[in-house]
Amino acid sequence: MKFASITSQDNAPTEGYIMPHTAPLYLSSTYIYESPEKAQAVFKGKEKAYIYSRWSHPNAELVERKIEEMETFGSKDVKCRALLFSSGMAAISALFQSLIKPGDSLIVQGNIYGTTVDYINHAAQQFGLKLYYEDFKKLDKIEALLKKDKKVKLVYTETPSNPTINCYDLRALSALAHKYKTRIAVDNTFASPYLQRPLIDGVDFVIHSSTKYLNGHGSGLSGLLVGSDTTFMDKDVWTIRKLHGSICAPFDAWMLNMGMKTLSLRMQQHCINAMAVAKWLQAHKAVSKVNYLGLESHPDHALAKKQMKDYGGVLSFEMKKGYKAGEKLMKQLKFCKLTASLGTTDTLIQHPASMSHFFVPKEQRQKFGITDGLVRLSVGIEDVTDIIADLEQALNHL
């Protein structure tokens, strides 16, 4: 079966479940049993059935089974378990609460999603965690920390990175983490399983803000955590989700599944348009630098070409005149939409220093390349000439 067929097909999430052509929306909080004996067998774990939609429900399980196929596509050896959450941050927090204990240490990539940094910093203060924010290009530094600090429980990375658009070597990082008996997680939101499948490269946990490319239309919140340790996922992570009530609601799960049906087609066009916009921006006098992995001038181009199917739909660029120029650009745009999100069919733009990474301490932000003049652009699937025309008129007004 081809990858595009996985995304488009709806298969029965559980044995005995009859699936119509279009997966129905199940808006029931509870489920009925035909007898007390059946109910007792289910609650004792001897038989499988739905209990309560806070625990699981058909719309969530349909998405989970589909993502498991997508994340392991191309490999016969890798197995995984996926759990669907109410948001990407709910998935991240469930991983941390399942895996991390007070006093543990973490090695975290410095240039990642701003709210993830905010969450990790808050968790560190609350639970006495030791944090190492590092440049994940410096593998020798990562190994030195793993060798020195035996309490490192997790290596946390994101590739392509948000918003600097760097690519990191997942095979090398996974090998280092496992050498020192540490687990590694990667936020794969920017790439999606269509472009990159980290479990095959040895990563233990994959995170998606499926609000973004997997949904693709900005029509609902959801998040996914996928792990190769199926026992840990089924026991530890699932228990956290059940007790916290952080499962994705049926309607958002249904919308996510509908969006996933066109993932392959959308990602292809996102990549085509992003390449065209990146090349155009490179030549503009108001722009000093363009960060897009598809450009041969990007220092990570060769790694991205090896590790990814294509280069993605998100790019960032540096305004020559810094913070004020970034703010002015946001005011001049008419076609591109100003919002701190990404991965939808329409083009979205934002200024990280004043928006998505506003809560990251400025010194920490700038240390890892998230400068005052950096602008992030999630290139949509509209006619690319309309996207470029809007950028041109806005940049020419600066």
Element (H, E) at 189: none
pLDDT on residue 240: 98
Whether residues 249 and 333 share a domain: the answer is no
Whether residues 249 and 316 share a domain: the answer is no
CATH number of the domain within which 13 lies: 3.40.640.10
Whether residues 256 and 267 share a domain: the answer is no
CB 365 within 8 A of CB 309: no
pLDDT on residue 20: 78
* pLDDT tens by residue, 353-376: 777 677 777 777 777 778 888 999
Whether residues 281 and 358 share a domain: the answer is yes
Whether residues 234 and 300 share a domain: the answer is no
Specify which residues 30 forms β-bridges with: 52
Range 206-214 average pLDDT: 98
User: What b/e string do you get for 289-318 counting C-beta neighbours within 10 Å, with b at 16 or more?
Assistant: ebbbbbbeebebbebbeebbbbbbbbbbbb
Whether residues 87 and 194 share a domain: the answer is yes
Whether residues 254 and 267 share a domain: the answer is no
Instruction: Kindly list the strands in the beta sheet with 130-134, ordered across the sheet, starting from the edge strand earlier in the chain.
Output: 81-85, 223-227, 205-208, 183-187, 152-158, 105-109, 130-134
Give the CA angle between residues 191, 248, 227 to the nearest 5°. 50
Which DSSP letter does residue 190 get?
Answer: T
CATH number of the domain within which 294 lies: 3.90.1150.10
Q: Which of 214, 235, 260 is the last residue before a domain boundary?
A: 260
Element (H, E) at 22: none
Range of the structural domain that residue 267 is part of: 263-395
Residue 133 structure tokens: 């924010």
Whether residues 273 and 387 share a domain: the answer is yes
Euclidean distance between CA atoms 197 and 171, whole angstroms: 11
Residue 135 structure tokens: 């440049």
Q: Which of 210, 244, 260 is the last residue before a domain boundary?
A: 260
Range 128-145 average pLDDT: 97
Q: Which of 260, 292, 314 is the last residue before a domain boundary?
A: 260
Range 324-352 average pLDDT: 93
Euclidean distance between CA atoms 359 and 353, whole angstroms: 9
Domain count, the chain: 2
SS (H, E, C) 346-390: CCEEECHHHCCCCCCCHHHHHHCCCCCCEEEEECCCCCHHHHHHH
In this prediction, residue 13 has a pLDDT band, given cuts at 50, 70 and 90, of: low
Beta-carbon neighbour count of residue 140 at 10 Å?
Answer: 8
Euclidean distance between CA atoms 196 and 194, whole angstroms: 6
* pLDDT tens by residue, 171-197: 999 999 999 999 999 999 999 999 999
Specify which residues 287 forms β-bridges with: 319
| 3-state secondary structure at position 65 | helix
Q: In the predicted model, is pLDDT for residue 18 greater than 80?
A: no
- Pairing between strand 314-319 and 374-378? antiparallel
Whether residues 249 and 270 share a domain: the answer is no
Euclidean distance between CA atoms 132 and 367, whole angstroms: 13
Whether residues 122 and 207 share a domain: the answer is yes
Q: In the predicted model, is pLDDT for residue 16 greater than 80?
A: no
pLDDT on residue 226: 98
Work out the mean pLDDT of the chain and round it to a whole number: 94
Whether residues 247 and 355 share a domain: the answer is no
Range 258-276 average pLDDT: 98
Range 81-92 average pLDDT: 98
Whether residues 281 and 163 share a domain: the answer is no
